[in-house]
Structure 1
Amino acid sequence: MKKQAWEATFEDFAQNVFTGSRAPGLIVGLNKDGESLYRKSFGYRNAEQRLELTPDTIMGLASVTKSFTCMAIMQLQEAGKLSVHDPVITYLPELRTPDRAKTEQMTIHHFMTHSAGFPPLPVDALAVNSSMREVLSDENHPIYRFLKKEDVKPVDTFADYLDAFNKQEYELLGAPGQYFSYSNDSYSLLGGIIHRVSGKPYDVYVKDHILDPAGMSSSTFYLSDLPKFPDVTTIYHYRENNGEQELYPDPDWEDGLVVAASGLLNSTLRDMLNYAEIFRTGGLVGKERILSEESVKEMMRPHIRCSYHSYYGYGLEIQPDFFGQTLVGHGGAIKGVAAQLTILPECGITAVGLANLVGTPVEGVVTAAINTLAGRPADASAETYSEEYPVPVEKLGRYVGRFISGEGADLSVILEEGALHLVQNESIDGIGNKEKYSLQPIGEDYFWVNFAGREFSVGFIHDEDGEVKAISFGFRIIPKANK
């Protein structure tokens, strides 16, 4: 069949992006009004054996899983078993934070919208088997900045998780609802709430109430299931070799059911386009109702600002003005996984992109497919700025500093020749490139950065005295390090 013009334009763009990404394999698919519109794979699910990627290749979803977690909460609310406005201590009375009064104010809604006030913390790493082994084998691992060695223990149960969480030493970012800061811990705790309220472990609940009714027969939380399927990706990761970052096939998938609710579902392009129907139709997959229309609207409602141009709903990011339409979606990134789910409800478009290497720009590839289908340039951005935002040089100095998170991120903001730059000293996966990235002012305390091929906004948070206390980077509020 002859390609349409938009397909050729998209594939030229996507091939260039894919080649530059070093990813072994990437696949993208679009549906229109629930019907297959386009499927395209680049590279391989196994580069060594040259095995192709297909719509039925099982791949990781990482944080795209968070929308499933919120869907489970909304189902339980519909069943009258909880309310999103209930205090979390109703269901997690053992929960401890540095501020008891604020703990009592935290609601399920705050957890769902990453607004409870938690900074990035290292607890999830203790519950992911492969991460835990890395921590125990490396005495210089960044996690030891935040945990005492005697507290670094495997987390095998939810009780273990709560115990480890309660031992953290940190300051809350603010009052519940005040700030958005992406929190895997909030979602792992939601998984515990789902278990206690439903009587089923989180993974079992999601299978029974979402995966099976939606016909997602190739989706699973269990690595033990993978050998049963004929079409499963190999995941790839980086390791240092003579000062260079070497790509290699890594058999060690991230695994840890205790934190499954924050990002450990595995699925396929076909299954995920089935799942996307829930958001396109207002709760239906075929004739099967998974969620009420009102609950779907609440999930897609822009509850809190999470970047300069976008908002967060329940397990979903919302861009209210994507070339005149609402764009809803979520990305995911863990070892061996880059994932993107995108829905344009008003025009019936659903799209999914999956890759087998973390850091692959699947969101950009999916957006390029949507752009070219609509007749726009592949790299067209809806995030535009009418004019430059002037900031006097003498005021730029207040943003200078080093910012370190409990997840391992380590950033510096420096002032050189009258301009601000961002330097990645170390990343969440332990890799730092030391490159400088220019910060372009776009608004009060907001800057725009092209960071390793991705463009996004960066913000700064002040304390009561007007001093910068944190940077908002990658959806996380990262505290300023003490001098």
Structure 2
Amino acid sequence: MEAQQLPQNYEKKIDSLIGTEFGNQNDPGGVFLVAKNGKPIYRKAFGKANLELAVNMTPENVFQIGSMTKQFTAVAILLLEQQGKLNVHDPVSKYIKDYPGGDKITIHHLLTHTSGIKDFTRMKSLSSIAQKEMKPEEMVSFFKNEPVDFTPGEKFDYNNSGYVVLGYIIELISGDTYENFIQKNIFDQAGMSDSYYASDRKVIHKRAYGYHKKEKGFVNKTVISFSVPFSSGSLMSTVDDMLKWQQALNQNKIVNPDESQKAFQKYKLNNNEEFTYGYGWHLKEINGVPDREHGGSVFGFKSMGVYIPKEDIYVIGFSNCDCHSPTEITRNIAKITQTSLKK
């Protein structure tokens, strides 16, 4: 599908849709990309990447992607399974010997948010460690002795702690840091040269700065130590790199089809009830067509990605203020793109 086959008003439609939320050029903004068959058909930036320096956003800006990090963690686990180093049905206790109830919680439970482990983001004591440099082991120790919310496999309840445990398991098995493992096995393989494990100290070329909105206007984002969200939310990327990621998955560059299929299928709870999450992706529908989607939210940033396999449509949206959400806009862009390309 070449760009010229798009209806003439397609770009205008998308512009005005995004403009409802991201229309003020003097506010923090965002970047949106739409691809069909791996080729961008829409790619635009809105607002400012840095308010203090009055720098305009460009499509090349680097954003924190928050919980979209979970896709990378899940695929890293599947890669270790492909290498014969683990099985998704292994109990957590096989790798973390002293994990409370770890003989009943499997890697599969962690991947699908069905473990029942206490989500550290809901713990009141989180503020006591938010700015501390935490080792993965220390992060796991922070929540592992909390009472569980339910028996493993009993229900689906979105959970950041489970993905922190997965990151720690990746380190224990690979003998490498999570950051290095993702860099070598995913970013480098997919050609994602503008993706990083987040840092506020490193000089990151084309970084978009993150903001909160207060009554009196915008303020710089609250500082957290990225070792806290760790493998549940600490990666940074660009829309172009995220398209490369989607392409790498489609072309089985990282894991083989048998493994990647595990990420994109729905699973059942103990009572046989199906839920709409695979490994690192929500599995929903757009206009009745199955999709894979996930958002992210971390201080100062929001992200959302939607992929429709049947039509090979990928839409990704980033925002550098947690006051602007790209979630519904990204889904609506996917809907418009579907109908526009059918005509």
**Which AA in structure 2 matches 1:351?**
V
Residue by residue, what CA displacement relative to the aligned partner does 1:382-413 show, whole Å, maximum 9, x if unpaired?
xxxxxxxxxxxxxxxxxxxxxxxxxxxxxxxx
Once the two structures are superposed, the pairs formed by residues 274-293 of structure 1 within 5 Å of their partners are 274-279=244-249, 281-283=250-252, 289-293=253-257
Give the SS at the match of 2:196. Answer: coil
Paired with 1:309 and 1:18, the residues of 2 have a C-alpha distance of: 36
Paired with 1:290 and 1:225, the residues of 2 have a C-alpha distance of: 30
Residue by residue, what CA displacement relative to the aligned partner does 1:104-155 show, whole Å, maximum 9, x if unpaired?
21100000001001243348897899x635xxxxxxxxxxxxxxxxxxxx46
The match for 2:277 among 300, 312, 325 is 312
Rate the CA distance shift 1:121–1:303 in 2: closer, same or farther, 3 A: same
Q: How many Å apart are 1:291 and its aligned residue?
A: 1.1
Aligned to 1:336: 300
Q: Which structure exhibits the higher relative contact order, with contacts defined as CA atoms closer than 8 Å and separated by 6 or more residues?
A: 2
Paired with 1:351 and 1:373, the residues of 2 have a C-alpha distance of: 9
Paired with 1:261 and 1:7, the residues of 2 have a C-alpha distance of: 36
Give the SS at the match of 2:166. Answer: helix
The match for 1:49 among 48, 53, 64 is 53
Q: Percent identity?
A: 26
Q: How many Å apart are 1:245 and its aligned residue?
A: 6.0
Once the two structures are superposed, the pairs formed by residues 200-219 of structure 1 within 5 Å of their partners are 200-219=176-195
Paired with 1:349 and 1:309, the residues of 2 have a C-alpha distance of: 26
Residue by residue, what CA displacement relative to the aligned partner does 1:26-62 show, whole Å, maximum 9, x if unpaired?
1100111111211122211123433222222111000
The match for 1:271 among 230, 241, 256 is 241
Which of the pair is proportionally richer in helix?
A: 2
Is the Cα contact below 8 Å between 1:125 and 1:132 reproduced in 2?
no
**Which AA in structure 1 matches 2:199?**
L
Once the two structures are superposed, the pairs formed by residues 16-31 of structure 1 within 5 Å of their partners are 16-19=20-23, 24-31=28-35
Give the SS at the match of 2:47. Answer: strand
Aligned to 1:132: 130
The match for 1:165 among 143, 168, 174 is 143
Aligned to 1:406: none
Paired with 1:366 and 1:226, the residues of 2 have a C-alpha distance of: 30
Is the Cα contact below 8 Å between 1:119 and 1:181 reproduced in 2?
no
Is the Cα contact below 8 Å between 1:62 and 1:263 reproduced in 2?
yes
**Which AA in structure 1 matches 2:239?**
L
Aligned to 1:108: 107
Paired with 1:24 and 1:354, the residues of 2 have a C-alpha distance of: 11
Q: How many Å apart are 1:238 and its aligned residue?
A: 3.9
Give the SS at the match of 1:350. Answer: strand
Is the Cα contact below 8 Å between 2:73 and 2:166 reproduced in 1?
yes
Aligned to 2:197: 221
Give the SS at the match of 2:21. Answer: helix
Give the SS at the match of 1:39. Answer: strand
Paired with 2:274 and 2:11, the residues of 1 have a C-alpha distance of: 28
Once the two structures are superposed, the pairs formed by residues 399-418 of structure 1 within 5 Å of their partners are none
Aligned to 1:294: 258
Give the SS at the match of 1:28. Answer: strand
Aligned to 2:227: 257
Aligned to 1:425: none
Rate the CA distance shift 1:253–1:221 in 2: closer, same or farther, 3 A: farther
Aligned to 1:13: 17
Residue by residue, what CA displacement relative to the aligned partner does 1:233-288 show, whole Å, maximum 9, x if unpaired?
1110245xxxx3642133x5533336420001011111111111134x252xxxxx
Residue by residue, what CA displacement relative to the aligned partner does 1:337-360 show, whole Å, maximum 9, x if unpaired?
100121111111111100001142
Is the Cα contact below 8 Å between 2:109 and 2:152 reproduced in 1?
yes
Q: Which runs of 5+ in 1 are unaligned?
A: 134-153, 284-288, 377-483
TM-score (norm 1): 0.63
Give the SS at the match of 1:223. Answer: coil
Q: Which moved more, 1:200-209 or 1:48-57?
A: 48-57
Rate the CA distance shift 1:23–1:371 in 2: closer, same or farther, 3 A: farther
**Which AA in structure 2 matches 1:132?**
A
Which of the pair is proportionally richer in strand?
A: 1
Q: How many Å apart are 1:182 and its aligned residue?
A: 1.1
Aligned to 2:44: 40
Aligned-residue Cα RMSD (Å) equals 2.8
Is the Cα contact below 8 Å between 1:325 and 1:344 reproduced in 2?
yes
Is the Cα contact below 8 Å between 1:237 and 1:357 reproduced in 2?
yes
Q: Which runs of 5+ in 2 are unaligned?
A: none
Residue by residue, what CA displacement relative to the aligned partner does 1:152-190 show, whole Å, maximum 9, x if unpaired?
xx462233223322343x3x2322111111111111111
Is the Cα contact below 8 Å between 1:27 and 1:353 reproduced in 2?
yes
The match for 1:236 among 208, 211, 217 is 211
**Which AA in structure 1 matches 2:244?**
N
TM-score (norm 2): 0.88
Rate the CA distance shift 1:272–1:191 in 2: closer, same or farther, 3 A: same
Rate the CA distance shift 1:39–1:125 in 2: closer, same or farther, 3 A: farther
Is the Cα contact below 8 Å between 2:71 and 2:281 reproduced in 1?
yes
Paired with 2:265 and 2:323, the residues of 1 have a C-alpha distance of: 28
Aligned to 2:218: 247
Paired with 2:44 and 2:268, the residues of 1 have a C-alpha distance of: 34
